[in-house]
Structure 1
């Protein structure tokens, strides 16, 4: 695997930390900026929406740029808005920086996926995808708890400065390690690549990716109150417990990345079925600490093994859209990251308790299985009818 892909993974780690760390910083930010908790929560929503809108928008906007230039522009912009966010005393300014940061993050990830695919053989897209998404899982293991610790020790602004510090080596490394585009590189046709969205397999992979990742983030977002109120763990153990889920996620991405290139269908079918059973078992047995510990790890591993495989399959299906394929994959991932927490919040708001997100995750996986089965059945009937 080219070293430059690991450098891109480092930048994705910093950006993933920024995306998810706010869950532990919202109370301090609300108090410091003198806004309500619900208003401060808009910072998370704004980032998620910016990621969804920004992926295709930024990919199209930068389609004529040299890819190294695009990566550096997005990453330096991402760092700059975190500097502004760390210095400002205005909630409105901070909200704008989160939106701009999300646009830069989305653009970077879309271009990074495209660059990574161009640097590996055609049959290694799954492994390359796992390296980049591994940055997200490491953010769950290390970055998010680390951001919470920094927030407790020195305030939420310290976490923003940490994002800048982590990102700085990636800027230097991208300048030195990322290959420049060849002089004969043709300018991609955005309209022709966008037409790939009409391909049934790509649309199917996008839908399944959004559903599976939605299930993941639906439960992950509300693990803290579940673990303390239902499972009975002391709050001081939360960083370790969340880290256990993140460790499983990292291993799932690593193992899934290898299988995604050789046996993707088997991984998706078996993994999704076991994932569904796991969410149901978790919902039923969440009050048992020993079962909870085991399921935190296994559900993290299965969620990201299946989710990352679907993202890699988006890239395979978008083979004729090498520049914008990464933006399609980024949208699928972040639609799930926005859909899941919203569904979890709605079910909790209905008075169904903190087990509700687990049942919601199970429902999303079940829908994904039904959609996949229906698509497979339709394709099978089509083949039979032509025989």
Structure 2
């Protein structure tokens, strides 16, 4: 199926600025943890890869003067950085959200783990997706505060540490798709009951008649919740594909921006029982997902989250990230203003003062020495 650009999804800032924001937040957190609230550049200059920064760290921070304020340190005239007052205020709001919405963050993590085959995930997988789940970087380091009795740390089969979730007896976890279908009165939760995925065609994107007919039959298939056992499914069937598509829908609904870099899903295949070419599911269902090729990567977007905003609950951290993006954009205006100011300072005077001796000669009749 030929990919077609959708201007609407290509223009959503919270999606396409998210990757740019991630290293900024990592640096911001590093500075905020310092008792003095400031750091010398030497504290981070050799740690660019740790923050996912691929240029000189000082140069990177100077690109965002609305977030990082540079000043001369107390020793050796080294450059130091601290957060601007606006960044400090947003950081306070973020901390408040973490405190007030800890239960929501915990539930998102719980659901993520419950979709896995063993109801347990490697810690490195959770760490790799904590940005998308909206978890603070130290969330797992404080289990007594952030986790409840349903979580337990385990040793996985390959010897690596993992986090498992124990379901309550008789507990039935419903996906956002199931909850919405129940609200609409089109789903009762009976076995082998169908739920049609909400579809949102992009303008100018037409499916072949054969694909249209297949999609109608696909929608009529029973809905297989990603929280249920799928071991009995034949991976080559359309029913197995509907389970995979349902998993991707639920996964993206848990994420802050309801998007994910497609390559991030590669590490999930074994743990979540996904097919080798799981990325093809996004391409085969362009009315559910949109693939953006901006920022030199491929980002999968859940269309329903943006076309039917009341259908997918908003993540508690979303507004905080939007504020950071707005502040981040101010940096461009600040740098532009500085460039204009510097050009005006460096601009030479068009009319220069005459040499005093030359002026005297002119007054004396213009006689010149031989």
Fold match by TM threshold 0.5: no
Structure having the larger proportion of residues in strand:
2
- Normalised to the residue count of structure 2, the TM-score between the two structures is 0.23
Structure with larger RCO (C-alpha < 8 A, sep 6+): 1
- Normalised to the residue count of structure 1, the TM-score between the two structures is 0.23
Based on CA coordinates, which of the two structures has the bigger radius of gyration? Answer: 2
Structure having the larger proportion of residues in helix:
1
